[in-house]
Chains A and B, each alone.
Chain A
């Protein structure tokens, strides 16, 4: 079979896989992508994009309710959950089709089906079982696993989706009706985004979190700020809580939660499981090849190499942070390394993290606590949204921008933000970190007025006792 010979086969067409394939093709490699379900992966179809579409609806709905504040009149505002979901699906569908077009434009062959690896000479062979049940074998000099990840479940504690009452992100994204009450288990980015969405649309939402604060990956101050904001919106947040039992009945679910040694029962209509992510490592033939798997994820070096000749892995299947942009970047690094370009392993401290709840949360680099833990003497700058003209004009005066600098070198160790549009702002600090600017360059940077970004400047100035507007 002439067509079965490739320079590179990427298994998985998500943001890691399809980006890797496009980059490979740019570098002159004959490339194929194997996809079992839908191009664009979870990100486009069941993750980043459709949730942003949902959250856009809830944001607008929220603004409608504040109409009077802005001098507007909006009466009898209501929503149609079916139409909301429909829009979200349409957005996802449009982008998924876009990925197909991009791959075609870049002459990447798309192979539909489920891949399994077999021992090959230089790299494993890829056997693809098509939707028609027929198998074909493909060979390539290099194979990249980009199979992604899925929601983690703990069946022993009943933390397992049933698709009706107990949801994962996937069911939560396409509700048939608006539930009256929801329990969100896990307060990471996924949990908080759904909590925010459903709460805004009127559901009674309870979030339970095992550790002592929500959004545990974020800076503690941001976590506290977020908790207060959510509670003001009517969310119930229970930290240091463990779900002991989860039972489902006709009317919904009954969760037994243990907090401070006491058990508490919460009854809700729906439960959303957001207790982490586990890599899609099964049924790929990895064990037989000797691929090292730890805690549900493929172990790789800084360039994606698995240790098995010709086999690489990138993105969610290789572990945290489970972010599309991390996967894409890993894909590019891996492919460029294969092509012999001058590349460096990714600096994970330069991966921005964004959570699109209301208020938004964004961060890059070390939290204040982590910086201290790492032995840095720090200077911390803070600037609240109430001191920013644009924020006040927007009616978004609640938020905080926090910066953490190394006292000695002036390195921007981390930046942590909560408030309107911070997910769009964070990139300024990411660029600053990538270019290794110190406080001096940031202080001398001119920020446009009036913008929310001025707060980024002020936060830096504040770290050095020079804030101008607060």
Chain B
């Protein structure tokens, strides 16, 4: 029996990825655990390990291939004693498994067997809110049915004409719900989408609201031509997975989350002093940054104001028991938010070393999905770049994000006299659905003494 190597899912929601590199070639012997390929998703590069041992019989997906569906066969391993003739059967087996998959997929997507799968889908999307579906589906968070129809990695079902029309118009068919048999996307769906309306899916059990919600809220695609630029005055950088994800998630958040900012000034002199003392006495290799101290301060503030460490869902407010602090890290071509899990339980030295490791691997795009997904709160720091204050966009489904400006010497009034202090302005953007103004203020009120009297954060 030949062994099929399948495109792995790097996260529960991954649907497709880029097969960036093969580390083996046809004919190579591999052992279980050998790294055989590298896969790139919108956020990370991951290594694919061989699960079985054998000889690489055939590589079916060339390196550099984009949009490789999860569970697609990417290579076939030959077991001991098998030769290339076994590959013929492998190909056949592959075809068979494909076709036998289809009905079940269509059931998952389709409306006919709606009841069971719908229940699953609803539970799935509600439970994870948008966090679990972060990479691909956040932008369409309102329509769990539609997003989940693809999250199982199922084949996109569309008529040749629908595909052709979508290609000509630059429309992404994966955003559409098909109204043809078994959810097949047909001409009328593409036409409806191009008109800007929702596809006229006449799903019998799709409640009207789930039908009405989708495509309308998704703005039409923006073409280069629509910018009316003179030929030769620009170049177009293709959108990579990360850029697409940023565009989708930020657009959705800014559009769907009622957000508001709260500003507060924090004096930093004591914190800076404590930091240099700590670093002077720290063991070799440990260097605590202001950011690391702010991570800990925020984690403690979140713990002391538990209602602020929360996410909104339609089923209820989700109060997180731990402060998982995501930190925006700028990397080549975008940014990523590695997460310090349970930061309230971690000391500064631990936070500092974790952060150093995460940031380094983030820049190489080597983070594992679980390392950048699922934070409960975010910090974005542009202070080192001299920004005085700014308001970030909520990182759904988190309830708050703290934007940190530059620490600078400013005149302050102390005991009715002018004095000089190192001050930084921080801005807390809150999701009003879950964090009201007073709750946000309470969080900042808890944060301020931790920063200004930093000894307290060492407790």
Using a CB–CB distance below 8 Å, which chain A residues touch chain B? 340-344, 408-411, 435-438, 440-441
Check A342–B162 contact: CB distance below 8 A: no
Using a CB–CB distance below 8 Å, which chain B residues touch chain A? 111-112, 159-162, 164-165, 168, 179, 186-188, 200, 202-204
Rounded to whole angstroms, the CA-CA distance of A436 and B173 in the bound complex is 15
Check B160–A441 contact: CB distance below 8 A: yes
Contacts A435-B159, A441-B160; A342 near B168 (Cβ below 8 A): no
Check B164–A342 contact: CB distance below 8 A: no
Rounded to whole angstroms, the CA-CA distance of A342 and B164 in the bound complex is 25
A350 to chain B, nearest CB (A): 11
Q: In the assembled complex, which residues on chain B have CB atoms less than 8 Å from the CB atom of A342? A: 111-112, 202-204
Offer 17 A-B interface pairs, CB within 8 angstroms, sorted by A: A340-B204, A342-B112, A342-B203, A343-B202, A344-B188, A344-B200, A409-B165, A410-B164, A411-B164, A411-B187, A435-B159, A436-B159, A436-B160, A436-B187, A437-B160, A438-B161, A440-B160
Check A409–B203 contact: CB distance below 8 A: no
Rounded to whole angstroms, the CA-CA distance of A344 and B165 in the bound complex is 21
A377 to chain B, nearest CB (A): 13
A347 to chain B, nearest CB (A): 8
Known: A409-B164, A437-B160. 7 other contacts (CB 8 A): A409-B168, A410-B161, A411-B164, A436-B159, A436-B161, A436-B187, A441-B160
Rounded to whole angstroms, the CA-CA distance of A436 and B160 in the bound complex is 6
B90 to chain A, nearest CB (A): 25
Check A436–B179 contact: CB distance below 8 A: no
Q: In the assembled complex, which residues on chain A have CB atoms less than 8 Å from the CB atom of B187? A: 411, 436
Check A437–B168 contact: CB distance below 8 A: no
Rounded to whole angstroms, the CA-CA distance of A343 and B203 in the bound complex is 8
Rounded to whole angstroms, the CA-CA distance of A211 and B161 in the bound complex is 35
Rounded to whole angstroms, the CA-CA distance of A340 and B200 in the bound complex is 16
Rounded to whole angstroms, the CA-CA distance of A344 and B192 in the bound complex is 14
B43 to chain A, nearest CB (A): 35
Q: In the assembled complex, which residues on chain A have CB atoms less than 8 Å from the CB atom of B159? A: 435-437
A26 to chain B, nearest CB (A): 16
Rounded to whole angstroms, the CA-CA distance of A440 and B159 in the bound complex is 12
Q: Which of A341, A344, A410, A440 contacts B179 (CB 8 A)?
A: A344
Rounded to whole angstroms, the CA-CA distance of A341 and B202 in the bound complex is 9
Q: In the assembled complex, which residues on chain B have CB atoms less than 8 Å from the CB atom of A341? A: 204
Contacts A342-B112, A342-B203, A344-B179; A408 near B160 (Cβ below 8 A): no
A305 to chain B, nearest CB (A): 14
Rounded to whole angstroms, the CA-CA distance of A111 and B160 in the bound complex is 47
B110 to chain A, nearest CB (A): 9
Q: Which of B112, B161, B200, B204 contacts A409 (CB 8 A)?
A: B161
Q: In the assembled complex, which residues on chain A have CB atoms less than 8 Å from the CB atom of B203? A: 342
Q: Which residue of B lies closest to A336 (CB)?
A: B204
Rounded to whole angstroms, the CA-CA distance of A219 and B183 in the bound complex is 34
A430 to chain B, nearest CB (A): 15
Q: In the assembled complex, which residues on chain B have CB atoms less than 8 Å from the CB atom of A343? A: 202
Q: In the assembled complex, which residues on chain B have CB atoms less than 8 Å from the CB atom of A344? A: 179, 188, 200, 202
A190 to chain B, nearest CB (A): 33
Q: Which of B164, B202, B204 contacts A438 (CB 8 A)?
A: B164
Total A-B pairs, Cβ < 8 A:
38
Q: Which residue of B lies closest to A340 (CB)?
A: B204
A249 to chain B, nearest CB (A): 57
Q: In the assembled complex, which residues on chain B have CB atoms less than 8 Å from the CB atom of A437? A: 159-161
Q: In the assembled complex, which residues on chain A have CB atoms less than 8 Å from the CB atom of B112? A: 342
Q: Which residue of A lies closest to B200 (CB)?
A: A344
Contacts A342-B112, A344-B179, A436-B186; A411 near B202 (Cβ below 8 A): no
Rounded to whole angstroms, the CA-CA distance of A410 and B167 in the bound complex is 12
Rounded to whole angstroms, the CA-CA distance of A430 and B435 in the bound complex is 58
A-B interface, 5 closest residue pairs, ranked by CB to CB distance from nearest: A436-B159, A436-B161, A342-B204, A438-B160, A411-B161
Check A436–B111 contact: CB distance below 8 A: no
Among B164, B188, B200, B204, chain A packs the most CB atoms within 10 A around the CB of B164
Rounded to whole angstroms, the CA-CA distance of A408 and B168 in the bound complex is 8
Q: In the assembled complex, which residues on chain B have CB atoms less than 8 Å from the CB atom of A438? A: 160-161, 164
A402 to chain B, nearest CB (A): 20
Rounded to whole angstroms, the CA-CA distance of A437 and B164 in the bound complex is 10
B167 to chain A, nearest CB (A): 9
Q: Which residue of A lies closest to B110 (CB)?
A: A342
Rounded to whole angstroms, the CA-CA distance of A435 and B200 in the bound complex is 18
Q: In the assembled complex, which residues on chain B have CB atoms less than 8 Å from the CB atom of A436? A: 159-162, 186-187
B205 to chain A, nearest CB (A): 9
Rounded to whole angstroms, the CA-CA distance of A341 and B160 in the bound complex is 25
B426 to chain A, nearest CB (A): 53
B188 to chain A, nearest CB (A): 8
Q: In the assembled complex, which residues on chain B have CB atoms less than 8 Å from the CB atom of A411? A: 161, 164, 187
Q: In the assembled complex, which residues on chain A have CB atoms less than 8 Å from the CB atom of B164? A: 409-411, 438
Q: In the assembled complex, which residues on chain B have CB atoms less than 8 Å from the CB atom of A340? A: 204
Rounded to whole angstroms, the CA-CA distance of A340 and B206 in the bound complex is 12
Q: In the assembled complex, which residues on chain A have CB atoms less than 8 Å from the CB atom of B160? A: 435-438, 440-441
Q: In the assembled complex, which residues on chain B have CB atoms less than 8 Å from the CB atom of A410? A: 161, 164
Rounded to whole angstroms, the CA-CA distance of A441 and B162 in the bound complex is 13
Q: Which residue of B lies closest to A345 (CB)?
A: B202
Q: Which residue of B lies closest to A441 (CB)?
A: B160
Rounded to whole angstroms, the CA-CA distance of A409 and B164 in the bound complex is 6
Rounded to whole angstroms, the CA-CA distance of A423 and B415 in the bound complex is 100
Rounded to whole angstroms, the CA-CA distance of A74 and B366 in the bound complex is 87
Rounded to whole angstroms, the CA-CA distance of A341 and B111 in the bound complex is 10
Q: Which residue of B lies closest to A435 (CB)?
A: B159
Q: In the assembled complex, which residues on chain A have CB atoms less than 8 Å from the CB atom of B111? A: 342
Q: In the assembled complex, which residues on chain B have CB atoms less than 8 Å from the CB atom of A441? A: 160
Q: Which residue of A lies closest to B183 (CB)?
A: A342
Q: In the assembled complex, which residues on chain A have CB atoms less than 8 Å from the CB atom of B168? A: 408-409
Q: In the assembled complex, which residues on chain A have CB atoms less than 8 Å from the CB atom of B200? A: 344
Q: In the assembled complex, which residues on chain B have CB atoms less than 8 Å from the CB atom of A408? A: 168
Among B111, B161, B187, B188, chain A packs the most CB atoms within 10 A around the CB of B161
Rounded to whole angstroms, the CA-CA distance of A437 and B159 in the bound complex is 7
Q: Which residue of B lies closest to A341 (CB)?
A: B204
Q: Which residue of A lies closest to B201 (CB)?
A: A342
A460 to chain B, nearest CB (A): 13
Q: Which residue of A lies closest to B188 (CB)?
A: A344
Rounded to whole angstroms, the CA-CA distance of A409 and B160 in the bound complex is 10
Q: Which residue of A lies closest to B161 (CB)?
A: A436
Q: In the assembled complex, which residues on chain B have CB atoms less than 8 Å from the CB atom of A435? A: 159-160
Q: Which residue of A lies closest to B179 (CB)?
A: A344
Among B159, B160, B202, chain A packs the most CB atoms within 10 A around the CB of B160
Q: Which residue of A lies closest to B167 (CB)?
A: A409
Q: In the assembled complex, which residues on chain A have CB atoms less than 8 Å from the CB atom of B188? A: 344
Rounded to whole angstroms, the CA-CA distance of A437 and B200 in the bound complex is 21
Q: Which residue of A lies closest to B202 (CB)?
A: A342
A85 to chain B, nearest CB (A): 44
Among A342, A344, A411, A440, chain B packs the most CB atoms within 10 A around the CB of A342
Rounded to whole angstroms, the CA-CA distance of A441 and B164 in the bound complex is 12
